[in-house]
A and B are shown apart, each in its own frame.
Chain A
Amino acid sequence: MKKSLILIFLFAATHLIANDNLLLMEQANKYYDGSEYAAAAETYETIVSNGLESADLYFNLGNAYFKLNNLPMAIFNYEKARKINPHDDDVLHNLQIANSRIIDKIEPVPQFFLFQWWDILVKSRSMEQWGRISIIAFISFLVMALIFLLARIVRLKKAGFWSGMAFLAIFILSLILANQHYQSIHNRTEAIIFTPTVTVKSSPRENSTDIFVIHEGIKVQITNQLGEWYEIKIPDGSKGWILEKDFRKI
């Protein structure tokens, strides 16, 4: 009860703050159009530090950093935008260009086609969209259930049953898909390397063997943690340990 009250309060409060930040947003856009990318990035960052976000904000911020030739920050923000809005074509395009300018080119290991399809399905909608779909499907399911239960005509009853089942299936699927987004957002298992050159170690010790070298801007998966050391996995499947200071979680 308390929590929901706070939430309501937050929504109300942020609506007020949002107005100011929308002005900031427009100011930043003006800086960007005037090629003052540093000022633009700073202003966008102010909005983020005010505790607000959106896919568009991260996208614009990424653009500003890209223009400043700060590739890791650009990629970081594009990835954030992609998390919120995974099927935005502009985000994907700019992310691809930024990724093509970093030093490391790592061929991803090809996945089994079912996993690829699943991934495409997951990323075809954002978490919020899947969430909304799940609610609509649930309500539809309930309506169909009522029809099934209350109708006195047999044909209506049958139609209610089958469409109810279909909506239930859609509801469960969208719940799973939305939850997948949720996990990736909340567990933050992806990270961007920020240190220009990182030597990846074989074990979480300073004096262990160097396995490979990666450079700033590359996206890695965090698979394990031990103190300030993190085990990472790069797209080609290689694993190794790096320090916390070398990356930022998306």
Chain B
Amino acid sequence: MKKYFFKIGFLIPTAIIAWLAIMPVKSAAQEPQFTASAKSVVVVGERFQLQYRFTAEGQGFRGPNIADFDVLNGPSTSTSSSVQIINGQVSREVSYTFSYILSARREGSFTIPPATINFNGKQYTSNPVTVQVHAGGQTTPGGQGSSSQQGSQQKSSSEEVDVFLRAEVNNSSPFIGEQMIISYKLYFNNQIAGHDGFQKISSFPGFWVKNLFPNQREIPTTTENFRGKQYNVAEVRRFAIFPQRAGPIEIQPQESEITVRLRTESKRKTSDPFFDSFFNDPFFSSRYSDISKKLSSNSLTINVKPHPTKDRPENFSGAVGKFTLQSQIDKTEVKANEPISIKLTVTGSGNIELFDLPRIEFPRDFEVFDPETKSDIKVTTSGVSGNRVFEYLVIPRNPGNFKIRPIEFSSFDPSTGNYSVQKTPEYNITVERGDGTSSVVTYSGTVRQEGIQIIGSDIRHIKLPPYQLRPIGLYFFRSNGYYLALIVPFLLFVAVLIIWRKEMKKRRNVELMKNLKATKIARKRLKLASNFQKQGKESEFYIEISRASWGYLSDKLSIPVSELSMDNVRVRLSAKGLQEETISQFIETLNQTEFARFAPGAKEENMERIYNGALEIITKIEKELK
């Protein structure tokens, strides 16, 4: 099956080709034609086409030597071929076209010499072409197609050309940046056969331009009375223009080219008035001539006023028109590292594309991306309006409370001549701590901290009991207790010192008294002893003598009697600086006293001797100690 289809699929085109090859081809037998054609009448400077058509596949086309015209383009080749099958007869037509675009240089009648081409070894020569060149703006009969034959027969026109182009502005003294409309209107009372699209009207030095008729379209026609005459009017171009500088600005005349179709008087006269009028209709009669005409509009002078200096806001940046500013924020409470979007929208009509909004100042810890700008500008016939959106995307990197300060946008309203200042609201943004350890993860340039984190480190565990809790702010240092702890020892110190001193003094006084009284007491005792001696009381006498001696020593040496003995008396007395002789005498006296008490013998004599000895030695010590 497959094979079969393949065969069929193969067979059909093969069959057609074979059939075409077998069929007698008529054209091959026909003599080829080589003809030249061009507009017979042109205006100086007009562009026209020169065509050479050869009805076979020629080779070696040699173009004419065109000396009287400027060759703007060419030769360019185009090919067309057609196959006709009529009643089994196949006719195949091939035509080669070589075309030039020429431009007439000067007036006069010029002949373009023939061109040559080779086919089947034979050279073909075209016909020469004669072109009549007229001065510009003159009425010239239309010269193409079927009308050329008519035009050659009929040359007198029945109408005058009444066409002109006018420029109009809606405001001749605008402010800088104020939107104004300039329109170009074609006034005509003729039939318009064609135009160049008025695309040359486009240049306005000193203005920013927005084309309000950007797309080619049908041009509606109205009627208007201009200078007492009724005209058909077509507004061909309209622009919104925005003056860029103050002072008078001249808008130069704008040029355009149109072709006017003028009716010519008909020579065809029929008896039938109906048909007459019917065929006199330009559509049918085709008795007309096309005239090419250059149009030049009027020039306009615009007096551009500067913006008034009175009350001009400082931040005025050239926005002229009626605008409203809106500000939108998607959220005011976010977590750190979550984006916030803030939209500023300017809506209105005016030079909306020509200014930028002041930038929003964000807190430093915000990462700010360049605002995304979206424009939705509508160009309507009444001018330019629309909105522009500035969308900021910011990412707060650290938690905190932030303020986004308002921005001020000032614009100038030319209709009222006043400035208006619009302010966006102030936003308070609360940034919460983000998820995770966002305080460590920070991207904001200058405050980044690096290389401190100790890997695997953690805080040490809490302190365990025992605790010593104290009232807050109650410290020992400089408290009353502290001062007491200083003062009490000091007072003790002073007290100890005073008591000690007093005691010392007291003791010294007693000794002094005893010292001073020592001799007196000794004398008293000796007197008492002498009384006992007289009474003959022997033992009392010796006791009294002993007391006098030992008591005197005790008082003089500040040593209690109990601590005195025969052994240490010598040491003590020598420490007091007594002479050895005196000490020996004193000890002798003491010994004699002890001895005499218990010794038998002359009692009266002994008592007398000891009394005198004691008296003598005490007196002697008294003298030496002084």
A196 with B459: in contact, given A21-B469, A135-B486, A138-B489 (CB under 8 Å)?
no
Chain B contact patch, size range: 35 or more
Binds B, one of A3-11, A112-120, A226-234: A3-11
Chain B residues whose C-beta falls within 8 Å of the C-beta of A132 in the assembled complex: 476
A100 with B439: in contact, given A29-B462, A178-B477, A196-B431 (CB under 8 Å)?
no
Chain B residues whose C-beta falls within 8 Å of the C-beta of A14 in the assembled complex: 469-471, 474
- A236 CB within 8 Å of chain B: no
Cβ–Cβ contact A102 & B439, under 8 A: yes
Chain A residues whose C-beta falls within 8 Å of the C-beta of B476 in the assembled complex: 128, 131-132
A135 with B398: in contact, given A97-B458, A146-B496 (CB under 8 Å)?
no
Q: When chains A and B are docked, how far (Å) is the Cα of A66 from the Cα of B478? A: 34
Shortest beta-carbon distance from B308 to chain A in Å: 30
A150 with B500: in contact, given A57-B469, A71-B439, A94-B459 (CB under 8 Å)?
yes
Q: When chains A and B are docked, how far (Å) is the Cα of A214 from the Cα of B20? A: 94
Cβ–Cβ contact A105 & B489, under 8 A: no
Shortest beta-carbon distance from A86 to chain B in Å: 13
Chain A residues whose C-beta falls within 8 Å of the C-beta of B146 in the assembled complex: none
- B354 CB within 8 Å of chain A: no
A22 with B465: in contact, given A135-B482, A215-B398 (CB under 8 Å)?
yes
Query: A22: which of B431, B469, B489 is its contact (CB, 8 Å)?
Result: B469
* Residue among B449, B471, B479, B489 facing the most chain A CB atoms (10 A cut-off): B471
Cβ–Cβ contact B364 & A210, under 8 A: yes
A-contact 0/1 string along B231-264, CB 8 Å cutoff: 0000000000000000000000000000000000
- A25 CB within 8 Å of chain B: yes
Cβ–Cβ contact B475 & A185, under 8 A: yes
Q: When chains A and B are docked, how far (Å) is the Cα of A90 from the Cα of B457? A: 13
- B348 CB within 8 Å of chain A: no
- A63 CB within 8 Å of chain B: yes
A100 with B472: in contact, given A105-B449, A195-B400 (CB under 8 Å)?
no
Cβ–Cβ contact A10 & B470, under 8 A: no
Cβ–Cβ contact A149 & B497, under 8 A: yes
A196 with B472: in contact, given A101-B453, A105-B449, A128-B477 (CB under 8 Å)?
no
Chain B residues whose C-beta falls within 8 Å of the C-beta of A94 in the assembled complex: 459-460
Chain A residues whose C-beta falls within 8 Å of the C-beta of B457 in the assembled complex: 97
Cβ–Cβ contact B477 & A63, under 8 A: no
Chain B residues whose C-beta falls within 8 Å of the C-beta of A130 in the assembled complex: 477
Q: When chains A and B are docked, how far (Å) is the Cα of A38 from the Cα of B465? A: 21
Nearest residue in B to A6 (C-beta to C-beta)?
Answer: B480
A105 with B364: in contact, given A4-B480, A182-B478 (CB under 8 Å)?
no
Chain B residues whose C-beta falls within 8 Å of the C-beta of A43 in the assembled complex: none
Chain A residues whose C-beta falls within 8 Å of the C-beta of B458 in the assembled complex: 97
Chain A residues whose C-beta falls within 8 Å of the C-beta of B453 in the assembled complex: 100-101
- B565 CB within 8 Å of chain A: no
- A26 CB within 8 Å of chain B: yes
Query: A146: which of B400, B459, B475, B497 is its contact (CB, 8 Å)?
Result: B497
Nearest residue in B to A61 (C-beta to C-beta)?
Answer: B462
Cβ–Cβ contact A105 & B477, under 8 A: no
Q: When chains A and B are docked, how far (Å) is the Cα of A127 from the Cα of B437? A: 37
- B623 CB within 8 Å of chain A: no
Chain A residues whose C-beta falls within 8 Å of the C-beta of B433 in the assembled complex: 69, 196
Chain A contact patch, size range: 35 or more
Cβ–Cβ contact A59 & B479, under 8 A: no
- B442 CB within 8 Å of chain A: yes
A213 with B461: in contact, given A51-B472, A100-B454 (CB under 8 Å)?
no
Cβ–Cβ contact A63 & B480, under 8 A: no
Nearest residue in A to B492 (C-beta to C-beta)?
Answer: A142
Nearest residue in B to A81 (C-beta to C-beta)?
Answer: B463
- A173 CB within 8 Å of chain B: no
The secondary-structure label for the interface of chain A is helix
A69-83 interface (Cβ within 8 A of B): 69, 71
Q: When chains A and B are docked, how far (Å) is the Cα of A3 from the Cα of B226? A: 110
A57 with B467: in contact, given A103-B447, A213-B447 (CB under 8 Å)?
yes
Chain A residues whose C-beta falls within 8 Å of the C-beta of B477 in the assembled complex: 127-128, 130-131, 178, 181-182
Cβ–Cβ contact A52 & B398, under 8 A: no
Cβ–Cβ contact A52 & B469, under 8 A: yes
Q: When chains A and B are docked, how far (Å) is the Cα of A71 from the Cα of B442? A: 15
- A104 CB within 8 Å of chain B: yes
Chain A residues whose C-beta falls within 8 Å of the C-beta of B459 in the assembled complex: 63, 66-67, 93-94, 97-98
Cβ–Cβ contact A103 & B439, under 8 A: yes
Cβ–Cβ contact B462 & A197, under 8 A: no
Q: When chains A and B are docked, how far (Å) is the Cα of A82 from the Cα of B225? A: 99
Q: When chains A and B are docked, how far (Å) is the Cα of A97 from the Cα of B454? A: 8
Cβ–Cβ contact B470 & A60, under 8 A: no
Query: A63: which of B437, B461, B484 is its contact (CB, 8 Å)?
Result: B461
Q: When chains A and B are docked, how far (Å) is the Cα of A26 from the Cα of B465? A: 8
Q: When chains A and B are docked, how far (Å) is the Cα of A36 from the Cα of B447? A: 33
B390-425 interface (Cβ within 8 A of A): 398-402
Cβ–Cβ contact B472 & A53, under 8 A: yes
- A250 CB within 8 Å of chain B: no
Chain A residues whose C-beta falls within 8 Å of the C-beta of B485 in the assembled complex: 135
Q: When chains A and B are docked, how far (Å) is the Cα of A197 from the Cα of B399? A: 7
Q: When chains A and B are docked, how far (Å) is the Cα of A69 from the Cα of B438? A: 10
Q: When chains A and B are docked, how far (Å) is the Cα of A69 from the Cα of B484? A: 45
Chain A residues whose C-beta falls within 8 Å of the C-beta of B479 in the assembled complex: 7
Q: When chains A and B are docked, how far (Å) is the Cα of A106 from the Cα of B500? A: 63
Cβ–Cβ contact A197 & B449, under 8 A: no
Chain B residues whose C-beta falls within 8 Å of the C-beta of A105 in the assembled complex: 449-450, 452
Q: When chains A and B are docked, how far (Å) is the Cα of A128 from the Cα of B477? A: 6
Q: When chains A and B are docked, how far (Å) is the Cα of A179 from the Cα of B452? A: 35
Query: A54: which of B401, B454, B461, B468 is its contact (CB, 8 Å)?
Result: B468
A197 with B400: in contact, given A29-B462, A105-B452 (CB under 8 Å)?
yes
* A-B pairs with beta carbons under 8 Å apart, 19 shown: A4-B481, A18-B469, A25-B469, A29-B462, A52-B471, A53-B470, A54-B470, A59-B463, A60-B463, A97-B457, A101-B439, A103-B442, A104-B447, A132-B476, A138-B490, A150-B497, A150-B500, A181-B477, A215-B398
Residues of chain A touching chain B, judged by Cβ–Cβ distance below 8 Å, are 3-4, 7, 10, 14, 18, 21-22, 25-26, 29, 32, 47-48, 51-54, 56-57, 59-60, 63-64, 66-67, 69, 71, 90, 93-94, 97-98, 100-105, 127-128, 130-132, 134-135, 138-139, 142, 145-146, 149-150, 178-179, 181-182, 185, 195-199, 210, 213, 215-216
Residues of chain B touching chain A, judged by Cβ–Cβ distance below 8 Å, are 363-365, 398-402, 431, 433, 437, 439-440, 442, 446-447, 449-450, 452-454, 457-465, 467-472, 474-482, 484-486, 489-490, 492-493, 496-497, 500
